[in-house]
Every structure is written in structure tokens, then in C-alpha cells.
Structure 1
Amino acid sequence: MLSLYIKDKSLIIKDVDKGQIAQIAEWFNGREKEHYRYAMGMDGPVKYEDLHEKYLESLVSVSEFFLSVNLDDVLVGFVKGRLDYRNEGEIWIMAILIDKKFQNQGIGKRIIKLIMRESAERFGIKTFYAGIVEDNKQGMAFWKSLKFCEYRQSKGYFTLHNKSRDLMIMYRKI
């Protein structure tokens, strides 16, 4: 796992630990599951076993990160992505989720800015990508507010509610 630890006041971004997988699964399967459907590009149940497998895959990969987002020792979200050293080096954000109770407080933007700063300082990364479901208007607005631009579109990348959806890749150079 590409290990990261970022502390900014009461916000701590660090590697997910096995004990947090159950809470992450609950976001995808609990009462608010529809609210989080775009976070992983999946519309069916996200099983604990599947998330645990993603966790194990990230543990053995030197380029993947699976980060918990903690506010005053409370898990409030996660970020999953990877570092790619092709060209000048890139960070790909594959998923970001903030607990609904903590959304619209600037936490998501703060997380991405901190990850970008840490990646630039520690690894020399200058290019950042994020993949989102094209019709995720809230997600598109989020990334655009961070000065990400549309890079490319992959037709039919996702199937949500039995409908083919496109993947929009956003990018930003710093």
C-alpha cells in the first residue's frame, strides 16, 4: 500500500485499517445507500467481502492507497486511488466518499487539496485525475470547484439502474 498520513488540525487522513471496512460497507448498504451510489460507480449492494478484498488488494500494491478520513477520531469518509509514475507521475482518485452528516462543510475539498499538496511535496506529482459518473452533477461540480477540467469520456463504462453510464475523467495540473 502506498502509505499516507496527513494531519491538518482535527482532520487526519491515513491508511484505512481493517476495522473500518464495516463502516464503509454500511455507507453503501444502509438507509442512505442511494445517496452514496455514485461514490464507487455501483448500484447494487457493496458487500463487506468485496470491500475487504479491495482493502487486501491495496495492501499488496505499492502504488494504491485506501485512506480513511477522520475528524476528531471519527471516521467520516474515505478516498481510494493510485499513484502512477508514467510520464511525470500522476495520482488517480478512483473514489471519494464523505458521510452525509459531514457533507457541505468543505471537508471533501480540504481532503483533495491536502492529498494534492502531500503528493506534490513527497512524490513530485503534478497531475491529478478523478473518474466520475458523467451524470453525477454534484460530483462534477465538486471537481470543477477544485479547478479540475474535463479530460476524456469513456462511453458505457458503468451500468447503474440497468442503464449504461459514461465515465468522465477530470484532471488538474499544479
Structure 2
Amino acid sequence: MYIVNAKAKDIYLENITPLNLKYIFEWYNDEDFKYATGIEKDITFQQLTRNFIEMQRSGEHFLLGIFISSTGEMIGFLKGQIKYCSKVSVWINTLIIDKAFQNKGYGTKAVDLLIDFVKKKSDVSRFYIAVSESNAKGYKFWKSLGFKDYANIEDCMKLEGETTNAIIMYKLV
């Protein structure tokens, strides 16, 4: 797993441990986060554990807890991977902030912290994200962070039994 240990004044990011998986399991199976996870149906704890073990074996994947500095409480997570091609880039697959902590700037701070850390550690040139066309709130969030439209992919995401298009967005760093 790609190791991240990044701290800011009020939050920090660090790699998930098996003890943190119970929180991720709850968020993955929460209907309100279907756009963030891209998963239409519930996953089992066994499936999540298998995915976690596979990510641990990879030097490219990351699964990071987002924690409040003052309390150590986990309020969300970031999942993605580093792509080592001609230019190093990062794909952010999932960003979830617990409902009680949304709209307080924690998602923005977490993404900024990740960008700063990875940029210094791995000489990254671009960050990418895919957003469902149906997810206007998510699209607006990534735009506010300086991500720009890169491409559209038709009929690539299935949510609530319907196929939707995805917008690929990027940010140069």
C-alpha cells in the first residue's frame, strides 16, 4: 500500500488499519454515499476485507482515514491509486466524509492535504476523478477544488438500476 502520513492543523490522513474497516463498511453500505462509492448494492464485510488485503499488497493503492486532530476520531476516508506511467498521476476513486462532518471544509482540507503530500513524495503531475453526471453536488465540489473536465464516458456507471455517464476531471499540480 502507498504509505501516507500527512498532518494539518485540524485533520490528518493516515493509512487505514483493520480496526478502521468497520467505519468504512458502514459508509460503503449507506445509501447516501452511493455516488461516492460507485457501488449500487451492499458489500459484505468479507468482501471489504478481501479488497483491503489486496490494496495492502499493492504499492500503488491507498486507503486513507481522515481523522480530527484534536480527538483522533475518524470522520471519513480517501481511496485511490498512484499511476506510474510517463508522468506520475493519481486517481481518487472515493472520498467520503461522515454526514455529521459534511459542509465544514473537511473534504476540501483532506484533498488538499493529499495533493500536497503526494506531490512532494512522488513528483505527481496530475490528479484525476470520475464523477457521475447524476451527481451535481459531487461535480460542483470537485470544480471548487480546481478540477476541470477532461472527458465524458457514456454508459459506464450503474446506479439504482440505471446506467449513467461519467465525467472524468483532472487537476494539474
TM-score range, shorter chain: over 0.9
**Aligned residue in 1 for 2:23:** 23
Letter paired with 1:62: G
Extract unaligned runs of 5+ from structure 1: none
**Aligned residue in 1 for 2:105:** 106
Find the aligned partners of 1:6 and 1:70 in 2 and give their Cα distance: 11
Find the aligned partners of 2:148 and 2:48 in 1 and give their Cα distance: 29
Match of 2:39 among 37, 42, 49: 42
Letter paired with 1:77: G
Per-residue CA deviations over 1:93-144 (Å, capped at 9, x if unaligned) read: 0111000100000100111111111111111112110112221111100100
- Do the aligned residues in 1 keep the contact of 2:83 with 2:91 (CA within 8 Å)? yes
RMSD: 1.1
SS at match of 1:51: helix
| Regions of 4+ moved over 2 Å | none
**Aligned residue in 1 for 2:137:** 138
Find the aligned partners of 2:86 and 2:131 in 1 and give their Cα distance: 23
Find the aligned partners of 1:150 and 1:50 in 2 and give their Cα distance: 32
Shift of 1:57: 1.2
Find the aligned partners of 1:128 and 1:167 in 2 and give their Cα distance: 16
SS at match of 2:104: coil
Shift of 1:60: 0.3
- Do the aligned residues in 2 keep the contact of 1:134 with 1:165 (CA within 8 Å)? yes
Percent identity between the aligned chains?
28
Number of matched pairs: 171
Extract unaligned runs of 5+ from structure 2: none
**Aligned residue in 1 for 2:13:** 13
- Do the aligned residues in 2 keep the contact of 1:42 with 1:158 (CA within 8 Å)? no
1:78 aligns with 2:77: yes
Shift of 1:52: 1.3
Per-residue CA deviations over 1:132-161 (Å, capped at 9, x if unaligned) read: 222111110010000101111221111111
**Aligned residue in 2 for 1:154:** 153
Q: TM-score, normalised by structure 1?
A: 0.94
Q: TM-score, normalised by structure 2?
A: 0.95
Find the aligned partners of 1:49 and 1:152 in 2 and give their Cα distance: 35
